[in-house]
Amino acid sequence: MRERLLSGFDPFVLPFMIGMCFVLLYCLVAFVRLMGQLSRKERRRFFRSLFIPKNIARNVRDIFCDCLLHVKLWKRNPRLGYMHSSIAFGWFMIILLGHIETFLFVPHRAGLFYYPIFFRYFMVMEGTELKGSLLFFLMDFFLAVILSGIALAVYKRIHRAFFGMRRTTRLSLIDLIGLYSLWAIFPLRWIAEGFTANVAGGSFMTIPINWLLRSFMSNPENITAAWWAYSIALGTFMCVLPYSRYMHIPAEMILIPMRNAGLKVRAARRGFALVQIKSCPGCGVCIDACPMGLAGKKNSMDASAYLARQIRRNNQKNYRDIADKCLMCGKCKAVCQVQFDSISVRRLIREAVPYKLAHDYSYLSSYVESGAVSAENPVEVLYYAGCMSAQTPVIPRSVQRLLDTANISYKLMDPDGSICCGRPLILAGRSSQARELIRSNTRIIHSSGCKILIVSCPICYRMFREEYKLKGVQVLHYTEYFDMLIKEGRLAVRQGEERIAYHDPCELGRGCGIYNAPRRALSAAGSLVPVPKEKVESICCGGSLGSLTLSYQERSRIAVGSLKNLTANGPDLVVTACPLCLKTLADASDSTPVKDFAQVLCEHT
Amino acid sequence: MIITDFGYCLAPSNAVKVDKTTDWRFEKLCALESDVLKCIGCGSCTAVCSAGHFSQMNLRQCILSLSRGQWEKSVRSLSRCMLCGKCLMVCPRGINTRHLILSICRIYCPGEGGSNA
Amino acid sequence: MINKNIVIVGGGPAGLEAARTLRNAGLTPILLEGSDRLGGHLLEWDSLFPSNQKASEVLESLTADLEGIKWFTNSKVEEISRIKDIYLVRTSSGYTFQANAVLLTTGFSLFNATLKQELGYGIYDRVITNADMERYFATGEHPCIHEPKTIGFVHCVGSRDEKICNRACSKVCCATAIKQACHIKEKFPLAQVYCFYMDLRMFGRGWEDMYYNAQTKYGIRFVRGRVCEVSEGMDATLNIKAEDTLLGKPIRMKMDLLVLMSGIRPRKDTEDIASNLHIELGTDGFYSPRDPFIRTNESSNEGIFLAGTCTGPATLPETFSSARSAAARIIEYLESK
Residue A448: the pLDDT is: 87
Angle between helices B59-67 and B24-32 (to 10 degrees): 120
Give the chain A residue nearest B56 (alpha carbons). A363
Residue B116 has pLDDT above 50, yes or no: no
- Give the Cβ contact number of residue C186 at 10 Å: 10
Q: Which residues pair with C77 in a beta bridge?
A: C91
CB C219 within 8 A of CB C185: yes
Coil, strand or helix: which one is C24? helix
- Of C135, C117, C111, C109, the residue nearest C46 (C-alpha): C135
Residue A441: the pLDDT is: 92
Residue B113 has pLDDT above 60, yes or no: no
Helix/strand/coil percent split, chain B, to 5? 50, 0, 50
Among the residue ranges A215-224, C32-41, C198-207, C270-279, the one predicted with the least confidence is A215-224
Q: Which chain A residues are within 8 Å of B55, Cβ to Cβ? A: 363
Residue A501 has pLDDT above 90, yes or no: yes
Residue A570 has pLDDT above 60, yes or no: yes
Helix/strand/coil percent split, chain C, to 5? 30, 30, 40
Residue C262 has pLDDT above 80, yes or no: yes
Residue B115: the pLDDT is: 45
User: Average of pLDDT values for C232-259?
Assistant: 93
CA dihedral (A359, A362, A364, A368) positive or negative: positive
**CB-based contact C245 B49, cutoff 8 Å:** no
Q: Does A587 touch chain C (CB under 8 A)?
A: yes
Q: Tell me: the pLDDT tens digits for C61-105?
A: 999 989 999 999 999 999 999 988 899 999 999 999 999 999 999
Residue C2: the pLDDT is: 65
Give the chain C residue nearest B56 (alpha carbons). C249
**CB-based contact C117 A390, cutoff 8 Å:** no
Q: Which chain A residues are within 8 Å of C164, Cβ to Cβ? A: 587
Nearest-angstrom CA–CA distance, C231 and A426: 29
User: Average of pLDDT values for B71-79?
Assistant: 84
From the CA of A227, how many Å to the nearest CA of chain B?
A: 56
**Single-letter amino acid, residue A54:** K
Residue B98 has pLDDT above 60, yes or no: yes
Angle between helices B97-107 and B24-32 (to 10 degrees): 140
Residue B74: the pLDDT is: 83
Give the chain B residue nearest A459 (alpha carbons). B84
Q: Which chain B residues are within 8 Å of C163, Cβ to Cβ? A: 90-92, 94
CA-to-CA dists, residue A136 to A2, A119, A146, A204, C29, angstroms: 15, 11, 15, 9, 92
> What are C's interface residues with B at a Cβ cutoff of 8 A?
118, 156, 160-163, 198-199, 224-229, 241-245, 248-251
CB A276 within 8 A of CB A263: no
Interface with chain C: mutation pick from B42, B58, B93, highest number of C CBs within 10 Å: B42
Give the chain A residue nearest B79 (alpha carbons). A359
Which pLDDT band, with edges at 50, 70 and 90, does B4 fall under?
Answer: low
From the CA of B59, how many Å to the nearest CA of chain C?
A: 10
From the CA of A91, how many Å to the nearest CA of chain B?
A: 48
User: Average of pLDDT values for C204-218?
Assistant: 95
Residue A296: the pLDDT is: 85
Residue A200: the pLDDT is: 82
SS (H, E, C) A293-309: HHCCCHHHHHCHHHHHH
Give the chain B residue nearest A553 (alpha carbons). B94
Residue C194 phi, psi dihedral angles, 5° rounding? -120, 145
Which pLDDT band, with edges at 50, 70 and 90, does A299 fall under?
Answer: confident
Work out the burial of residue A144: count CB atoms within 10 Å of its CB; fewer than 13 is exposed, 13-18 middle, 19 or more buried.
middle
**CB-based contact B92 C245, cutoff 8 Å:** no
**CB-based contact C162 B93, cutoff 8 Å:** yes
Cβ neighbors of C164 (< 8 A, separation 6 or more) are A587, C111, C115, C116, C158
CB C135 within 8 A of CB C40: no
Q: Does B95 touch chain C (CB under 8 A)?
A: no
User: Average of pLDDT values for A403-408?
Assistant: 94
Of A364, A388, A422, Cβ closest to residue B89: A388
**Single-letter amino acid, residue A473:** V
Interface with chain B: mutation pick from A356, A365, A418, highest number of B CBs within 10 Å: A356
CA dihedral (A375, A379, A380, A381) positive or negative: negative
Residue B117: the pLDDT is: 35
Residue B112: the pLDDT is: 65
- Of A507, A527, A512, A514, the residue nearest A575 (C-alpha): A527
**Single-letter amino acid, residue A530:** P
Angle between helices C55-63 and C13-24 (to 10 degrees): 30
**CB-based contact B92 C161, cutoff 8 Å:** yes
**CB-based contact A428 B94, cutoff 8 Å:** no
Residue B5 has pLDDT above 70, yes or no: no
Q: Which chains touch C (3 or more CB pairs under 8 A)?
A: A, B
CA-to-CA dists, residue A88 to A84, A95, C228, C259, angstroms: 6, 11, 58, 68
Nearest-angstrom CA–CA distance, A103 and A473: 64
CA-to-CA dists, residue A325 to A81, B99, C196, angstroms: 30, 10, 35
How much is the ipTM here? 0.90
User: Average of pLDDT values for A505-512?
Assistant: 95
What is the Rg, in whole angstroms, of the alpha carbon atoms belonging to chain B?
A: 16
Q: Which chains touch B (3 or more CB pairs under 8 A)?
A: A, C
Coil, strand or helix: which one is A362? coil
User: Average of pLDDT values for A208-234?
Assistant: 84
**CB-based contact A552 C163, cutoff 8 Å:** yes
Residue A107: the pLDDT is: 86
| pLDDT over 70 percentage in chain C | 99
Which pLDDT band, with edges at 50, 70 and 90, does B7 fall under?
Answer: low
From the CA of B70, how many Å to the nearest CA of chain C?
A: 15
| pLDDT over 90 percentage in chain C | 86
Residue A252 has pLDDT above 80, yes or no: yes
Nearest-angstrom CA–CA distance, A244 and A171: 10
pLDDT averaged over every residue in chain C: 93
Nearest-angstrom CA–CA distance, A527 and A439: 42
**CB-based contact A394 C124, cutoff 8 Å:** no
From the CA of A503, how many Å to the nearest CA of chain B?
A: 20
Q: Tell me: the pLDDT tens digits for C299-316?
A: 999 999 999 999 999 999
**CB-based contact B55 A580, cutoff 8 Å:** no
Residue A101 has pLDDT above 90, yes or no: no
Q: Which chain B residues are within 8 Å of C161, Cβ to Cβ? A: 92
User: Average of pLDDT values for A6-30?
Assistant: 92
Cβ neighbors of A365 (< 8 A, separation 6 or more) are A440
CB C104 within 8 A of CB C273: yes
CB C69 within 8 A of CB C28: yes
Which pLDDT band, with edges at 50, 70 and 90, does C231 fall under?
Answer: very high
**CB-based contact B90 C156, cutoff 8 Å:** no
Residue C31: the pLDDT is: 96
Q: Tell me: the pLDDT tens digits for A213-224?
A: 887 776 777 788
**CB-based contact B89 A583, cutoff 8 Å:** yes
Nearest-angstrom CA–CA distance, B74 and B61: 7
Q: What is the DSSP string of A155-224?
A: HHHH-GGGGT-S--PPPPHHHHHHHHHHHHHHHHHHHHHHHHHHHH---TTHHHHHHHHHHH---HHHHH
- Residue with the bigger pLDDT between C23 and A165: it is C23
> C228-267: string of b/e by CB count within 10 Å (b at 16+)?
bbbbbeeeebbebbbbbbeeeebbebebbbbbbbbbbbbb
Residue A408 has pLDDT above 50, yes or no: yes
Q: Which chain A residues are within 8 Å of C251, Cβ to Cβ? A: none
Residue A132 has pLDDT above 80, yes or no: no
Q: Tell me: the pLDDT tens digits for A345-384?
A: 999 999 999 888 888 898 888 888 876 677 777 789 999 9
Residue A303 has pLDDT above 50, yes or no: yes
Among the residue ranges A128-132, A279-283, A585-589, C238-242, the one predicted with the least confidence is A128-132
Alpha helical stretches, state H, chain C: 13-24, 55-63, 130-139, 173-187, 207-216, 270-277, 316-336
Residue C178 has pLDDT above 80, yes or no: yes
Q: What is the DSSP string of C67-106?
A: TT-EEESS--EEEEEEETTEEEEEETTS-EEEESEEEE--
Coil, strand or helix: which one is C11? coil
Cβ neighbors of A556 (< 8 A, separation 6 or more) are A542, A587, A588, C165
Of A392, A416, A552, Cβ closest to residue C117: A392
